[in-house]
A = this chain, B = another copy of it.
Amino acid sequence: MNIEKTITALNNPTRRNIIGWLKDRSNFPPALPEHADLEGVCVAFIQEKAGLSQSTISNYMGLLKEAGLVSSERHGQFTFYSRNDDAIQAFLSALEKEFL
């Protein structure tokens, strides 16, 4: 848990939104039938929801992943990103410890 990197990753409204959206798969279009059993959401769906360019979202997902807030799995041409609940919890605990 790198608190510096994590705060920086979350210091952006779109990236915070992405973390929020990923709480619930139904925030995105239904997965293709062949992806029905996979965790996570592909970049294109996140991009569409965020309304920013593909390169920006790819970059954002990289930052969130670097910070440990999401994980990714590649399946074919798709990369599926999902929340890393434990890391998010750990971050909040670290903040409490530092500030309270």
Contact = CB atoms under 8 A, between A and B. Distances in A.
Nearest to A99: B88
Interface in A42-77: none
Identical subunits present: 2
A11 interface: yes
Interface string A80-100: 000000001100100110111
Interface of A: 4, 7-8, 10-11, 13, 16, 19-20, 88-89, 92, 95-96, 98-100
Given A16-B98, A92-B95, 14 more contacts: A4-B13, A7-B7, A7-B10, A7-B11, A8-B11, A11-B11, A19-B99, A20-B99, A88-B99, A89-B100, A92-B92, A92-B96, A92-B100, A95-B95
